[in-house]
A and B are shown apart, each in its own frame.
Chain A
Amino acid sequence: MTASAAASGLNVAGFADKLRELMLAKIAADKLVLPPMPTTASRVMEMLDRGNPDTSRVTSVLESDPVMSLDILRIANSALYSPKVPIDSLNRAVSQIGQRNLRNVLTAAAARRIFNSRNPEVRDIFNKLWEHSVAVAIAARQIAVHAALEDKDVPYMAGLLHDVGKPVVGSHLLELERAVARSRSGRWLDTDTWMQLVDGLHRDVGLAIARKWKLPEAVCQAIEDCVEYDAADRKSSANAVRFANALAKREGVVAGEADIVQVNTVLMIGRSILGLEDEAIASMASAVHEAAAGLEA
């Protein structure tokens, strides 16, 4: 319990329940303002949807948005894409990444913005969440390669976005907390309680964002289904994301504390379901750390 809450004698558990109710009501009534896909990214996605657009036209659309251009260059050079030679121009990024990966990079750039916060109370947590998301995306992609999944882009995107609802829910919770407590300063919820609330509420919101961004249904499905293994469809993207999520947590690339028994259970089950060898898992664990170190650098 925080000092503010303790001083007021407020029941924190009751307060948290109240916030949860309000959030659920907001989500159910579709009154939660969800972040839109940036216009430039949408335009380029539409061009990609129409099929095989000219690279120079794509570059020209992106250049009209300097912030998005910078984001794309940053993502293209980050641990998410890991080029051996740094990509120093938008034109090269577009031609070298390829149209298939460009869609992923655009979505990643859009998602990254959601995890940005000027609020010093949550900035570090949101950054950690992004670091975790990147690690999960990279590990999920590696799982797709090792386990011969049909598609590797879907687990990658679902891994990147599986927690995208958390910063949105987290920010709304902060606002609600202040409104309910009628206080602009001081926190009533301690970070752990706040994170528990976020954990319990984020899934639907993340899914709603993915749908609003018109991401492929397979990605939305994987975000929705990655809460439990599907033993009937062993090579599913959702299974890959579930395993990758647990692996990142075991490796400490996570916001907050992880339940290590739960994490080890998920890993043990997933290793058998996905047919992963220890050697491959060790390699993924290294990639998870490299991803985190790459983002910190």
Chain B
Amino acid sequence: MKKVLTVDDARAVRMMISKALKDLQIELFEAEDGQVGLQKVGECEPDLILLDVTMPVMDGPTMLKELRATGNQTPVILLTAESGSTIIGPMLSAGAVFDYVIKPFKADALRSKVVAALDGQVSEAAVTAPTGAATARTGPLGGNGVPAAGKAFVDVLVIDDMDNVSRKLRSMLPDRISFNSSIDRRTAMNLCRERVYRAVVIDLEIPDVDSVDLLRDLRILQPTAAFVALVMRSVDNPEEEARVKGFDSYLVKPFRPEQVEEFVGNYFESLDLLQVVGNIMEPSAPSDPDQATESYYRRLSQLMTDGLDSMAAACHEDVILDLANLPPSAKMQKMLVKLRTKSSELGIDLCVVGSDEVSSLLKQLVETAEINVYPSRAEAQAASGA
């Protein structure tokens, strides 16, 4: 078990520290000044020292200096109300000062720093999910692709002063898409400090709120989110309106089903839509056959076209499109015409895994008649020599 020594003259502070760290699997020792602290270091050989600065008998800087003079390099977290750099700076220079926590402190902040100082070798209590986020889940990544420790991951945040707008959009989105809403700026800012969103939808006409200014601030808090403007249908050129104001895209209200579907496709499906392994591309089956719409095939076609480019760059001479999951349709046919043209340009042979119906479909058009169709992936691989 890891050992932590608290050196602080205030008994109340030592008790608060003890309370803050009680959920960690550590053994806690205490000392009321630097002199006792040095003795305790010898006795318990701590893995970490939480050190106050101003103390009677022997202060923190003196204890640290004497400790380092003995060659002891136990990591130290300074836990103090002292914020002057002329006092803290020399302590940092003494070496192995892992971090600094200002008093009064938040238990969470201290706990996470202690865990980090002990190289995460202590078990920490489970992070409590934020309230009011029934659909939120803990996300693996935060801004800049680094872990956003303990931050809930939510798909959509809608900011509109009229509550009905978010209710309506919620009702039009699939249940699997997690959703938060806010009717004012302050709540929206706080939500964005606490959670990680994939898309943030902002009404351009919230009373007393400069939407451009709000967008600017939210981009700071949500650097990886897509920002979507909510524009009235009466606006002449909503795309231009959204673009000039710095948004990534727009939604018109009242909402149109096809536009909401496109929104879902753009931000919540593309990532899982196509799996690429080696020279094989396999689209995910639409969960609902009705979902295999124009926008679905448009996105799929774009992803597969990009996939062909990547395969050409990786020197693959042939590509297998495994379409066994997709129902044959005119849309599929249209997509394959485009992909066949692209593969010819790149000098890549294209074959398809699909049913007899797919084979018949492709034979109908000159552009796709030459594409070989195999009933299974194994047969396609055997034919291509992969």
A residues in contact (CB < 8 Å) with B: 83-85, 96, 98, 100-101, 141-142, 145-146, 148, 152, 228-231, 234, 261-262, 264-266, 268-269, 271-273, 275, 277-280, 282-283, 286
A286 CB contact (under 8 Å) in B81, B102, B144: B144
Contact A85 B89 (CB under 8 A): no
Which 5 residue pairs of A and B lie closest in terms of their CB atoms, listed nearest first? A84-B246, A231-B83, A265-B89, A229-B83, A272-B102
Q: Enumerate chain B residues within 8 angstroms of A146, measured Cβ to Cβ.
A: 193, 220-221
Contact A85 B88 (CB under 8 A): no
Query: Cβ of B99 < 8 Å from any Cβ of A?
Result: yes
Contact A266 B212 (CB under 8 A): no
Query: Cβ of B146 < 8 Å from any Cβ of A?
Result: yes
Contact B83 A83 (CB under 8 A): no
Bound complex: CA A9 to CA B143 (Å): 58
Q: Enumerate chain A residues within 8 angstroms of B317, measured Cβ to Cβ.
A: none
Bound complex: CA A279 to CA B193 (Å): 11
Contact A228 B84 (CB under 8 A): yes
Query: Cβ of B148 < 8 Å from any Cβ of A?
Result: yes
Query: Cβ of B356 < 8 Å from any Cβ of A?
Result: no
Distance (Å) between the CB of B224 and the closest chain A CB? 10
Contact A145 B217 (CB under 8 A): yes
Bound complex: CA A264 to CA B95 (Å): 13
Distance (Å) between the CB of B227 and the closest chain A CB? 10
Per-residue CB contact flags for chain B residues 187-215 toward chain A (1 = under 8 Å, else 0) read 00110010000000000000000101100
Bound complex: CA A266 to CA B97 (Å): 14
Contact B109 A85 (CB under 8 A): no
| B148 nearest in chain A by CB position | A279
| A82 nearest in chain B by CB position | B216
Contact B244 A272 (CB under 8 A): no
Distance (Å) between the CB of A145 and the closest chain B CB? 5
Q: Is the interface of A mostly helix, strand, loop or mixed?
A: helix
| A265 nearest in chain B by CB position | B89
Contact A100 B220 (CB under 8 A): no
Distance (Å) between the CB of B211 and the closest chain A CB? 10
Contact B146 A269 (CB under 8 A): no
Per-residue CB contact flags for chain B residues 128-149 toward chain A (1 = under 8 Å, else 0) read 0000000000000011101011
A sample of 15 inter-chain contacts (CB < 8 A) reads A98-B213, A141-B220, A145-B220, A229-B83, A230-B83, A231-B82, A268-B88, A269-B85, A269-B88, A272-B101, A272-B109, A279-B142, A279-B146, A283-B144, A283-B223
15 new A-B contacts, CB < 8 A, other than A231-B83, A269-B83, are A85-B243, A146-B193, A146-B220, A152-B217, A228-B85, A261-B92, A262-B85, A265-B85, A266-B85, A268-B88, A269-B102, A275-B106, A279-B144, A280-B143, A286-B144
B100 CB contact (under 8 Å) in A100, A234, A269, A277: A269
Contact B143 A279 (CB under 8 A): yes
| A87 nearest in chain B by CB position | B244
| B146 nearest in chain A by CB position | A279
Query: Cβ of B234 < 8 Å from any Cβ of A?
Result: no
B residues in contact (CB < 8 Å) with A: 81-85, 88-89, 92-93, 97, 99-102, 105-106, 109, 142-144, 146, 148-149, 189-190, 193, 210, 212-213, 217, 220-221, 223, 243-246
Distance (Å) between the CB of A284 and the closest chain B CB? 9
A145-B217, A272-B109, A279-B146 known; A261-B89 Cβ under 8 A: yes
Q: Enumerate chain B residues within 8 angstroms of A282, measured Cβ to Cβ.
A: 144, 146
Contact B246 A272 (CB under 8 A): no
Q: Enumerate chain A residues within 8 angstroms of B93, measured Cβ to Cβ.
A: 261
Contact B246 A83 (CB under 8 A): yes
Contact A85 B142 (CB under 8 A): no
Distance (Å) between the CB of B270 and the closest chain A CB? 22
Q: Enumerate chain B residues within 8 angstroms of A266, measured Cβ to Cβ.
A: 85
Contact B244 A273 (CB under 8 A): no
Q: Enumerate chain A residues within 8 angstroms of B220, measured Cβ to Cβ.
A: 141-142, 145-146, 283
A261-B93, A273-B102 known; A100-B210 Cβ under 8 A: yes
| B82 nearest in chain A by CB position | A231
Distance (Å) between the CB of A79 and the closest chain B CB? 13
Contact B243 A84 (CB under 8 A): yes
| A246 nearest in chain B by CB position | B85
Contact A85 B217 (CB under 8 A): no
Q: Enumerate chain A residues within 8 angstroms of B149, measured Cβ to Cβ.
A: 277
Bound complex: CA A269 to CA B80 (Å): 10
Q: Enumerate chain A residues within 8 angstroms of B100, measured Cβ to Cβ.
A: 268-269, 271-272
Q: Enumerate chain A residues within 8 angstroms of B148, measured Cβ to Cβ.
A: 279
Bound complex: CA A206 to CA B142 (Å): 39
Distance (Å) between the CB of B108 and the closest chain A CB? 10
| B147 nearest in chain A by CB position | A279
Q: Enumerate chain B residues within 8 angstroms of A262, measured Cβ to Cβ.
A: 85, 89
A100-B213, A148-B189 known; A283-B85 Cβ under 8 A: no
Bound complex: CA A96 to CA B216 (Å): 13
Distance (Å) between the CB of B28 and the closest chain A CB? 21
Q: Enumerate chain A residues within 8 angstroms of B144, measured Cβ to Cβ.
A: 279, 282-283, 286
Contact B81 A231 (CB under 8 A): yes
Distance (Å) between the CB of A268 and the closest chain B CB? 5
Contact B92 A268 (CB under 8 A): yes
Q: Enumerate chain B residues within 8 angstroms of A264, measured Cβ to Cβ.
A: 92
Interface centre among A101, A228, A268, A278 (most CB of B within 10 A): A268
Bound complex: CA A265 to CA B100 (Å): 9
Bound complex: CA A152 to CA B221 (Å): 14
Contact B88 A265 (CB under 8 A): yes
| A152 nearest in chain B by CB position | B217
A96 CB contact (under 8 Å) in B81, B85, B212, B223: B212
Distance (Å) between the CB of A142 and the closest chain B CB? 5
Q: Enumerate chain B residues within 8 angstroms of A272, measured Cβ to Cβ.
A: 99-102, 105, 109
Distance (Å) between the CB of A258 and the closest chain B CB? 13
Contact A148 B193 (CB under 8 A): yes
Distance (Å) between the CB of B251 and the closest chain A CB? 18
A84-B243, A231-B102, A279-B148 known; A98-B212 Cβ under 8 A: yes
B221 CB contact (under 8 Å) in A100, A145, A278: A145
Distance (Å) between the CB of B68 and the closest chain A CB? 15
Bound complex: CA A253 to CA B88 (Å): 24
